[in-house]
Amino acid sequence: MGLIVQKFGGSSVKDAAHIRNVAQIIAQAYEAGNDVIAVLSAQGDTTDDLIRKANEINDHGSKREMDMLLSVGEQVSIALCAMALEKMGLPVVSLAAWQVGIFSTNVHTDARIRRIDEERVRTELDRRRIVLVAGFQGVDRQGDITTLGRGGSDTSAVALAAAFQADCCQIYTDVDGVYTTDPRIVPNAKKLDVISYDEMLELASQGANVLHNRSVELAKKYQVKLEVLSSLERKPGTQIREVAQVEKTNIAGIAKDTSIACMALVGLEHNPGIAFQVFDLLSRNHINVDIILQSIGRAGTKDITFTLHKKDLEDAEEILLERKDVLKFDHLETTERIGKVSLVGTGLLSNSGVAAKMFEALYEANINIQMINTSEIRMSVLLDEEDVDPAVRAIHAKFFQD
Amino acid sequence: MGLIVQKFGGSSVKDAAHIRNVAQIIAQAYEAGNDVIAVLSAQGDTTDDLIRKANEINDHGSKREMDMLLSVGEQVSIALCAMALEKMGLPVVSLAAWQVGIFSTNVHTDARIRRIDEERVRTELDRRRIVLVAGFQGVDRQGDITTLGRGGSDTSAVALAAAFQADCCQIYTDVDGVYTTDPRIVPNAKKLDVISYDEMLELASQGANVLHNRSVELAKKYQVKLEVLSSLERKPGTQIREVAQVEKTNIAGIAKDTSIACMALVGLEHNPGIAFQVFDLLSRNHINVDIILQSIGRAGTKDITFTLHKKDLEDAEEILLERKDVLKFDHLETTERIGKVSLVGTGLLSNSGVAAKMFEALYEANINIQMINTSEIRMSVLLDEEDVDPAVRAIHAKFFQD
């Protein structure tokens, strides 16, 4: 018996039947004696329908008005789900973010939660009511509606769990947990029972789309125990929490990311400050780079190669070419036909055998490595796009099926 | 130059093209140098769609959650219309009722406005922004969303016009004004340039569906100058305001109402308090009666006949039959096959010639009158349902075409 925060995504509430199912999951937690706060996303296609309506009128409407428009989706979900719980005879109240007091920054369409008021929700919980909260949204100091950007409902749920010191935060989704790799590529991928926040962060940012990084970072910061589980099957999912560190190397999983592109500045003068200048320039333009490689080029020049998100490629090219005279490079090379495969787990760096085993798997599969990048708990290789899936299969087989 | 409140109903904002048209009307008022507050209803079918969604899940959901659900419709309209105005390069902000501070009673689905905060709207107007407000909704003291019931958006507009002392309140609709009678029955019905609040109230409550009575009552109370006009044609509509009283009789129009039923308590004992008991009982059950007739029945008994709304007929029957022993009547008779036709205008009662002319028209058309009811500015006759349209035509011809 305690306080549970549950979060249900858009596919879990897409129609009346799914909403009834969600109501049953909530009811079960409530009837077991828990206080329950459930965070809901907009129904399946609602957001797309609203965006289409907006675009018919103005495809460059202000972000403030887009937030005003899109925030209705979650309000519809919580009101409908409240009615489903009422039909079951349970006491329930639905609350939009401004009614809870989920205060955010005023960066429309990408706001950050600043503070959550406790009063209204606490009052409702004390009355033994189930509290349904509209995910993805906040309210700024002026009283304007904001939305929290990608993965916003997960963030709402984790922030509520932190504010109310919930015993756990269950993220219900259409998969039943976090897997060692994408089961669509490796059918015998294995579901993990437990994974640490850091490992989950590496898996998520490397392209495992179960949970958005922001919510995992927030959960780590406030030590919120997360569980990812299926809204359709009633069985345990994957817990994400602080895992007691043991010396032993533990491989959590394999992630792939094909949303990246590669850019090379060829023929740079050998000037010590040049890398800083390049990446400072990109950073000031909100372009994140990931793997960076510096290599010696011809005739005393050097090349800098780095990866970035495909969507940023065009902007980065424009920005760098504008400064060609200052940065003094010969020319730019770019490719989008690449991908990244990452092995994630604790103690990777301290165990050189892991790297050897990974390279061996790739060698046996006849796959060329273009670049390598490592962190405390991740080892990533950059490959030709077409080699990505074969690489995932080969590495998975080597580490999980041997 | 001044402050104008404009209200656009559901059919005026039903799709992108209509929203663009509404934005042009608003822009025209703004560009003429006025401050503009525009109140919008939900798009055409939105409310019905939402109700259908709710009924799929629970056809007896709480009124609080229905308000939470239905209030999104107006929010979508104002956000979309704001984007249309942004596209025209105009400064605009959309505000839900809770953002304005339209405080209401907590009677969900039928709340009354208690108070309107001026601060936010005034700040926006001072910045020369167009302010779009979600109609039909309010917020109660606890911070819960309410809706204002039938004609709610008209009420929102008039209340805002009163709070901000607007120079006028324009109600845009799909007809171009108030007519002497329903043009579908009498094709040569005449549009009125001006009508008084009282005449409009009588016309509205007698079945002219242009404006809801609540908004006209509110406009009268705060002396808000109303204008009813078409959102599709740019031409003057009908003004509703205090009209200087002249001695001369002035016929405003003819209304019909076929939503009524008739009930007779037959064979009541001749007991002085009996009428009070009957109507007090109905009133306590929220059943309004309209025309009442008492007549002498057989053997020293009397009959009480009255009209009420068709939808209340069943309830009234049940309530009265339950008390048959206390009220001591012989039996109940009811009919739904009746209708009411009303002549509305100032100075009717003081001019007996008007009544004679009306009865003459009905006599010439061979129509029997069942009951008669008059007020200072209205003269109503109860007729067989099938006689209603011929009566409207006959009376209209007598007063407007002679």
pLDDT, tens digit (0-9, with 9 covering 90-100), for B123-164? 999 999 999 999 999 999 999 999 998 789 999 999 999 999
List Cβ neighbours of B120 (8 Å cut-off, separation of 6 or more): A143, B95, B99, B100, B101
Q: Do B86 and A143 touch (CB under 8 A)?
A: no
CA–CA dist B402, B400 (Å, integer): 6
Binary contact (A61, B83; C-beta < 8 A): yes
- Provide, as residue numbers in chain B, all residues whose Cβ is less than 8 Å from the Cβ of A63: none
Give the integer Cα–Cα distance in Å for B75 and A50.
12
Q: Is the pLDDT of residue B300 over 80?
A: no
Query: What is the spatial order of strands in the sheet that A3-8 belongs to?
Result: A92-95, A130-134, A35-40, A3-8, A168-173, A226-230, A238-240, A194-195
Contacts of A79 in chain B (CB under 8 A): 54, 65-66, 68-69
| pLDDT computed for residue A154 by the predictor | 95
What ranges make up the beta strands (E) of B212-288?
A: 226-230, 238-240, 250-257, 260-268
Query: What kind of fold does domain B3-174 have according to CATH?
Result: Carbamate kinase (3.40.1160)
Residue showing tokens 């008022």: B29
Task: Decide which of A250 and B242 is more confident.
Answer: B242
pLDDT in tens, B222-239: 999 999 999 988 899 999
B241's tokens: 């305001």
> Which residue in chain A is spatially nearest to B99 when comparing CA positions?
A143
Residue in chain A nearest B49 by alpha carbon:
A76
Q: What is the nearest CA distance from A128 to chain B, expressed in angstroms?
A: 17
Residues of A in contact with B69 (CB under 8 A): 75-76, 79-80, 83
The answer, yes or no, to whether residue B385 has pLDDT greater than 90, is yes
Which amino acid is residue B213, in one-letter code?
N
- B99 vs A79, A93, A143: nearest CB: A143
Name the residue among A66, A80, A145 with its Cβ closest to that of B69: A80
Per-residue model confidence (pLDDT) at position A246? 58
Quick one: pLDDT at residue A206?
A: 67
- From A25's Cα to the closest Cα of chain B, the distance in A is 16
Ranges of each domain in chain A:
3-174
Dihedral sign (CA A202, A206, A210, A215): positive
Question: Nearest by CB to A57, which of B60, B61, B87?
Answer: B87
How many angstroms separate the CA atoms of A119 and A103, rounded? Answer: 13
pLDDT computed for residue A294 by the predictor: 77
Neighbours of A250 (CB within 10 A): 18
**Percentage of the residues of chain B whose pLDDT score is greater than 90:** 64
Question: Which has the minimum average pLDDT: A9-23, A25-39, B24-38, B182-196?
Answer: B182-196
How many CB pairs (< 8 A) connect A and B? 109
Amino acid at B193: D
Contact of A241 with A193, CB cutoff 8 Å = no
pLDDT tens track for B253-296: 999 999 999 999 988 887 777 888 888 889 888 888 888 887 77
Can you give the pLDDT at residue A106? 93
pLDDT for res B365: 93
- Do residues B21 and B232 make contact, with C-beta atoms less than 8 angstroms apart? yes
Is A72's CB within 8 Å of B75's CB? Answer: yes
Please identify every stretch of chain A with a pLDDT value under 70, giving residue numbers as ranges.
205-209, 245-249, 297-298, 402
- Per residue in A212-243, pLDDT (tens digit) is 888 999 999 999 999 999 998 889 999 999 88
Nearest to B105 by CA among B163, B164, B147, B154: B147
Q: Return the number of other C-beta atoms located less than 10 Å from residue A362's C-beta.
A: 20
- The answer to whether the CB atoms of A53 and B66 lie below 8 A apart is no
- Return the pLDDT at A260: 92
Residue-wise over B271-291: b if at least 16 C-beta within 10 A, else e?
Answer: eeebbeebbebbeeeebebbb
Question: Tokens 């999951």 label which residue?
Answer: A25
**Averaged pLDDT, B160-172:** 97
- Which chain A residues have any C-beta within 8 angstroms of a chain B C-beta? 16, 19-20, 50, 53-54, 56-58, 60-62, 64-66, 68-69, 71-72, 75-76, 78-80, 82-84, 86-87, 93-94, 96, 98-99, 120, 143-145
* pTM assigned to the model: 0.84
pLDDT confidence band for B211 (50 / 70 / 90): confident
Q: What is the pLDDT of residue B244?
A: 72
Cβ neighbours of B79 in A, within 8 Å = 54, 61, 65-66, 68-69
